[in-house]
Amino acid sequence: MLRALTLSIAQLGQPAIVRVLGKSLLVTLAIFAALAFGVFATLRHWLAGFAGGYDDGLAGTAAVVCFVLSAWLLFRVIAVAVLGVFGDEVVAAVEARHYPAAHAAARPVRLARSLRMGLGSAGRAVAVNLLMVPVYLALLFTAIGPAIAFFLVNAVLLGRDLGEMVASRHMDDATMRGWRKATRAQRFALGLAGTGLFVVPLVNLVAPILGAAMATHLFHASRGGRA
């Protein structure tokens, strides 16, 4: 894992990686800006019908608060979903540099499949965490229990997302089901490392890119490839 992280960090300055990082951040920020605007417009409309008037300042403040909370709670979900669309470019860049034979044999992931994986990632993350809310609440008395449970659950989800991002270039959906069963432990370790990167300020901005690159190295290492 440390080797995969080191190699991934070393490649961050490559133009192809920088382009994906720029596009991913712009799209992610645009989504959050749209969410903030939507919250502002909704609150403004609601306040307009309440007591015969509205307060732009109050609506704006509420929108900012909602934006900050959503950025904290949803950044991982949205950033990984966005990376699902652009992630194939990261994987391709890592393979071209470190695993040229595998890169030559790979099948680029079509946009439709990338969108499906990105939306599937977001849907799973939201659905699973909503289902886990009773568990998180039940662990409140332990103080740190909800954070640990949240971390572990999202490590499992992130490991699947990152692993599939790479495997989809080399496997069809049927083959990938068997691969998922055989690589649970490896993908969980990857998810733990990736989730850890997401909780470090500033590092979380490049965490999706590093996660995709690390997933590429681990995928090929498990198949006998060497960088």
Tens-digit pLDDT profile for residues 32-71: 888 777 777 776 767 666 645 555 666 566 666 666 666 6
pLDDT of 226 > 60? The answer is yes
Amino acid at 37: F
The residues pairing with 53 across neighbouring beta strands, listed in sequence order, are 50
Distance CA 198, CA 154 (A): 11
Q: Average per-residue pLDDT in the chain?
A: 84
Taking only the tens place, the pLDDT of each residue in 93-142 is 999 999 998 888 888 888 888 888 888 888 898 899 889 989 988 888 88
Comparing CA positions, the residue from 5, 7, 1, 2 lying closest to residue 227 is 7
Q: What is the pLDDT of residue 97?
A: 92
CB crowding 1-16: b at 16 or more within 10 Å, else e = eeebbebbeebeebee
The residues, ordered by sequence, that sit 6+ positions from 121 with a Cβ below 8 Å of its Cβ are 77, 80, 81, 84, 157, 161
Lowest mean pLDDT among 1-5, 9-13, 66-70, 111-115: 66-70
